[in-house]
Chain A
Amino acid sequence: MNSKCIDCSRIIIFTGDFGSGKTMLALNYARYLASTGKHVGLIDADSSKACYRLRDILSVYPHIDNVTLLSPLGKVADTDIPSLSHVWAALQSNMFPYLVFDLPGEYKGAVLLKSIRTMLKDSYELLYVINICRPFGGNLEEIVAQIEKLQYYTEMRFTGLVANTNLGRQTTEDVIVKGFAAASEVSRVVGIPVKLIGVPKDIKVSIIDWNGQILEIFLLDEPYWVS
């Protein structure tokens, strides 16, 4: 079993089902790491969802010191063509003490992971994000089946789970507590520890018997392009 410390690893990869919150977790984890003074390479490897990728969000997000976005450049940046040369370049480089990955959801992320698996030479955290308010994420069997499917396909093992249950702006403490309980149940079945809880900013949560990391998520004004 891995230790609970995520930032003991140089490479931190958020993966999981579509819409589980990987992009916002990656962005906010990078923000957290950067706040410790370390330079973070934040890798936008999502080619699928137009309008809400890291490259789109960061263009309207307040500037974050010590975080460098690594994403496709030029014409290809605005397309849905899976351009991955920036991912490979980042993995070959020693420029950044930390690399945080935002992968696309489900099978699209799995395909990408498989293609970079042998390049992950440094220690890494491969985190599976769980939001039980999402479709197909609501029951234990479905989540476990999904985790096992992705592990089987990528021939990799997740090192941690992220309890990221939320309803966007309408998240309550109750929603988060329920989501953590569900993630803990998944953890018992698959033998992978819960390592992180995502909590939207300004929500106070106290979870008994939990001494792991809670990550504050800064939500975008919704819709972000209105402001």
Chain B
Amino acid sequence: MEQVLLKGSEAIAEGAVLAGCRFFFGYPITPQNEIPEYFARRLPQVNGTFLQAESEIAAINMVYGAGGTGARVMTSSSSPGMSLKQEGISYLSCAEVPCVIVSIMRGGPGLGAIQGAQPDYFQAVKGGGHGDYKNIVLAPSTVQEAADLTYQAFDLADKYRNPVIILGDGILAQMMEPIVLPNEKQDFPEKNWALNLDKNRPRNVISSSYPIVEELEKVIIRLNQKAEIMKGEVRWDTLQVEDADYIIVAYGTSARIAKAVVRQAREIGIKLGLLRPITLWPFPYDAIYSLVPQVKAFFALEMSTGQMIEDVKIAIGRERPVYHIGRYGGVIPRVNETLEKITAVAKG
């Protein structure tokens, strides 16, 4: 297959187009503007619709509308913009409208900074919006994976009638790598629940409003049962864990740094391995727990003050120490400083 040179954000957009996404609604914000810019040029070529909404809130509600008709639809934003979308995401999750939402994290809280960071793990993984709901969260670490996971995200969204979040950061979004694109998707699932002009079926209703509490409780129980099934989609990757005395857990851009740390740690005789969650929800609890017998300590490398580390701690309980390593606000953790912290623990 022919290789193309893409930025992470372009790979996300092209992966979506090849998966049959024909609608994009968004509002600009750095460092993810290349996603709407790409769609603005690309969607007209495939008779799709690109629309720059008047706000993030408008955009996510346009996703609600388009997704409700059964169309494959996407929106994207970055940290402050993602905060604005949360109410809509909660509605989409309750109404079970499939869609793909791309969150390209930057330095926060507040207006923060435009450089890549990972401070929105909780927002994506632990709810973000109000109410009891779960969304599948995929965390690409390479430009190739950005295209592939976005492509697959549309199938997951349709399979479970559930929003799927792609969680990346400004570094992955801006980075360029040669990749091979997936084939254009040809067959799409039937959506008998969708709102369309078919008069030969009973009326379909898509809503997140259940004023009778017993009815709402039934919906919540059903969503929760669906979440249990979605946990079967858990994915992770490992590097040199077989003989590892120490494990570094990292996702997305941090996992790229962690790979270099593993290589350098082994050069100085520290048996370090990497476990990289690809799905952040569901989180690979069992995969991490299975390493406990052989491992002396775990490290969570993330560009936040410690969010994913809480899931690592849930995975292993108090059986082994877990150390946080990270830089914040858009500062990138360096390999040498990360290695120093691991060496300090390993050499006691």
Chain A partners chain B: yes
Q: Which of A1-50 contact B (CB under 8 A)?
A: 18-19, 48-50
Instruction: Determine if B120 is an interface residue (Cβ-Cβ < 8 Å).
Output: no
With the chains together, A133 CA to B3 CA distance in Å?
A: 7
Task: State the Cβ distance, B20 to closest chain A Cβ, in Å.
Answer: 18
With the chains together, A48 CA to B33 CA distance in Å?
A: 9
Are B178 and A49 in touch, CB under 8 angstroms? no
With the chains together, A222 CA to B171 CA distance in Å?
A: 12
Task: State the Cβ distance, B12 to closest chain A Cβ, in Å.
Answer: 12
Are B10 and A50 in touch, CB under 8 angstroms? no
Known contacts being A50-B174, A51-B170, A168-B176, is A131 close to B260, with CB within 8 Å? no
Instruction: Determine if A227 is an interface residue (Cβ-Cβ < 8 Å).
Output: yes
A-chain residues with CB within 8 Å of residue B106 when the two chains form the complex: 50
Q: Which of B4, B5, B106, B177 has the most CB of A within 10 A?
A: B5
Taking chain A's interface residues, is the majority helix, strand, or loop, or is none over half, making it mixed?
loop
Known contacts being A78-B114, A225-B334, A226-B335, is A166 close to B31, with CB within 8 Å? no
Q: Interface residues of B, CB < 8 Å — how many?
A: 35
Are B41 and A51 in touch, CB under 8 angstroms? no
Instruction: Determine if A85 is an interface residue (Cβ-Cβ < 8 Å).
Output: no
Instruction: Determine if B155 is an interface residue (Cβ-Cβ < 8 Å).
Output: no
B-chain residues with CB within 8 Å of residue A19 when the two chains form the complex: 5-7, 10, 176
With the chains together, A78 CA to B330 CA distance in Å?
A: 10
Q: Interface residues of A, CB < 8 Å — how many?
A: 25
Taking chain B's interface residues, is the majority helix, strand, or loop, or is none over half, making it mixed?
mixed
Are B170 and A166 in touch, CB under 8 angstroms? no
Task: State the Cβ distance, A70 to closest chain B Cβ, in Å.
Answer: 21
Instruction: Determine if A135 is an interface residue (Cβ-Cβ < 8 Å).
Output: yes
Q: Which of A164-216 contact B (CB under 8 A)?
A: 166-170
Interface string of A121-158 (1 = CB under 8 A from B): 00000000001011110000000000000000000000
Known contacts being A18-B34, A19-B176, A51-B31, is A135 close to B115, with CB within 8 Å? no
Are B114 and A79 in touch, CB under 8 angstroms? yes
- Can you list 14 residue pairs at the A/B interface with Cβ under 8 Å? A50-B31, A51-B174, A79-B113, A80-B30, A131-B5, A135-B6, A135-B42, A168-B176, A168-B177, A169-B178, A222-B177, A223-B253, A226-B335, A227-B335
Known: A134-B6, A167-B3, A223-B253. 15 other contacts (CB 8 A): A18-B34, A19-B176, A49-B174, A50-B106, A50-B115, A78-B115, A79-B114, A80-B114, A135-B4, A135-B14, A167-B178, A168-B5, A170-B3, A225-B257, A226-B257
- Residues of chain A whose beta carbon lies under 8 Å from any beta carbon of chain B: 18-19, 48-52, 78-80, 131, 133-136, 166-170, 222-223, 225-227
- Residues of chain B whose beta carbon lies under 8 Å from any beta carbon of chain A: 3-7, 10, 14, 30-31, 33-34, 37-38, 41-42, 106, 113-116, 170-171, 174-178, 253, 256-257, 260, 330, 332, 334-335
